[in-house]
Structure 1
Amino acid sequence: MTKVKAKVKVAGFSVSLDGFAAGTAQSLDHPLGLRGEEVFQWFFPTRTFRQMLGKEGGETGLDDRFARRAMEGFGAFILGRNMFGPVRGEWPDDQWKGWWGNNPPYHAPTFVLAHYPRPPIEMLGGTTFYFVSDSIEDALQKAREAAGAKDVKIGGGVETVRQYVQAGYVDEIHLAFAPIALGQGESLFSGLDLRALGYRTVEHVPTDRATHIVLAK
């Protein structure tokens, strides 16, 4: 039996019609930037999202199927520092432990790209944040080792996804295009030539709130 090679994926990554995956001016009050939450309107009503918040109910259609795929089955995650929190520069203390409270949604080793070192943070539910101050390759190597036979997810933010895609490390990209234009924000496609990088569309599923596109090499 042929062993299936573990993959590096971007999944459930929301983007506006004009190519922005986050708004401007990220802050404690606006984790996704100004108007950034508008590109996630397909995700918020799903059962998967509500379960992440410890709530019941939620929709179970196609959007939920893609939401579940975007969170399940990963053995490790990689995040940029912006995705972890709004703190910039050297860590002032150990108080900030992410946006998600004591039980983050990752439930696996999660590697945060940061220029400034910090001891690992063990959270509830199986998530441990490790801070990697070397290269994106070093973070990926650590994530692969931690994930074992499971896939690695590049969880964001925008600059982190762009770096890994441009470097050729991402095998599959699931984008959820929201039917809105943000006008400004963090551009996902700036400097990326997805065709030249070898990506082709392998899934194309429209729903009422998004169009899900899966690209693979």
Structure 2
Amino acid sequence: MTVTCDMMVAEDGYAAGVNQSLQHPLGEGGERLARWRFERPDENAAEIAAIATAGAYIMGRNMFGPGRGEWDDEWTGWWGDDPPYHAPVFVLTHYPRAPLVMQGGTTFTLVTAGIEATIEQARAVAGDREVAIAGGAATARQYLAAGLIDELRLHVAAAVLGAGEPLLAGLEHLTLAIMSLVITVGLVLFAIAGQAWYVWVASAVGAAALVAFLLLFQRARFKRMLALRHANGA
């Protein structure tokens, strides 16, 4: 069973801006990371559709909401009564809470047992479909560091945040190899798999910014839409 992870990142490697809040779910300025989805949905239809194919999802507490500490029982996520997942979603947390059954087939299960136990729960309900790590950056880093992600797709947007939550910080040991190339409008996508990392670059910003991004961890080559593979020593 493939474990995937789709993450939006800026050209300088940040997956969210500073000061996440109810008003700024992706941090200050972070909404620029999602413009390719909402301003050019037709051009990026295949990439958008690929995000929603998993049989189960895993996300961190920060991805689920802005709250910290004990739960606000009124909070049921950013997405309203019918979240876009339409599948089981496991939320990593240190604070127990009963599952939240939403419309459209989404159930949020709050898990306190850690990343390994959570991924086993997700695999058990995903059937023959993939398990997707839905973010945020800290959760993705934990699963990458543990070697539990098979395919990581980094959607590199035409934006520079300058500060915020870096996605790949501390992961310089990862070995990358180019797997495939796809070009769309307004997006750069990296995809990394348990044994493979894919990077899709669809940004009109230019190749130079992508080169600089890749040089941060000194691997691979570039094109407008890249696929990188995590060889895991293989």
Same fold (TM over 0.5): yes
Q: Deviations over 1:173-198 (max 9, x none)?
A: 111111221100100111012xx434
SS of the equivalent of 1:107 reads coil
Code of the residue aligned with 2:28 in structure 1: it is L
Aligned with residue 161 of structure 1, among 122, 140, 144 = 140
Residue range with higher mean Cα deviation, 38-47 or 127-136 = 38-47
Tell me the secondary structure at the aligned position of residue 37 of structure 2. Answer: coil
Residue 36 (1) aligns with residue 30 (2): yes
The percentage of aligned residue pairs carrying the same residue is 46
Q: Does 1:64 align with 2:41?
A: no
- 2:165 aligned with 1:186, yes or no? yes
Kept after mapping to 2: 8 A contact 1:203/1:212: no
Q: Is the 8 A contact 2:9 2:154 kept in 1?
A: yes
Maintained 8 Å contact 1:80/1:156: yes
Tell me the number of residue pairs that the alignment of Structure 1 and Structure 2 aligns. Answer: 194
**For 1:107-126, what aligned pairs fall within 5 Å after superposition?**
107-126=86-105
> Is it true that 1:90 corresponds to 2:85 in the alignment?
no
2:229 is the counterpart of 1:216:
yes
Structure 1 residues 46 and 143: CA distance shift in structure 2, 3 A:
farther
Paired amino acid for 2:47: F
Among 5, 12, 15, the residue aligned to 1:21: 15
Matched, 1:8 2:3: yes
Q: Which amino acid aligns with 1:68?
A: A
CA distance in 2, matches of 1:211, 1:133: 33
Q: Is the 8 A contact 1:24 1:33 kept in 2?
A: yes
Q: Is the Cα–Cα contact under 8 Å of residues 78 and 154 in structure 1 kept in the other structure?
A: yes
* Unmatched segments (≥5 aa) in structure 1: 1-5, 48-58
- How far off is 1:131 after superposition? 0.5
2:215 corresponding residue in structure 1: none
Distance in 1 between the 2:187 and 2:80 partners? 28
Q: Is the contact between residue 205 and residue 211 of structure 1 (CA under 8 Å) also seen in structure 2?
A: no
Counterpart of 1:65, as a letter, is A
Contact 1:120/1:129, CA 8 A, preserved across alignment:
yes
SS in 2 for 1:177: strand
Q: Secondary structure at the match of 2:117?
A: helix
Deviation at 1:45, TM superposition (A): 2.8
Q: Secondary structure at the match of 1:206?
A: coil
Identify which of 77, 86, 97 aligns with 2:57.
Answer: 77
Q: Partners in 2 of 1:83 and 1:129 — Cα distance? A: 12
Shift of 1:46: 4.6
TM-score normalised by the chain length of structure 2: 0.79
RMSD: 1.3
Offset at residue 85 of structure 1 (A): 0.4
| Kept after mapping to 2: 8 A contact 1:103/1:127 | yes
Deviations 1:147-171, CA, capped at 9 Å, x for gaps: 1211000000000001001100000
Letter in 2 for 1:25: N
Cα distance between partner residues in 2 of 1:126 and 1:216: 32
Structure 2 unaligned blocks of 5 or more: 191-197, 199-227
SS of residue matched to 2:68: coil
1:210 Cα deviation from its structure 2 partner: 1.4
Contact 2:40–2:185, Cα closer than 8 Å, also in 1: no
Aligned to 2:194: none
8 Å CA contact 2:3–2:151 kept in 1: the answer is yes
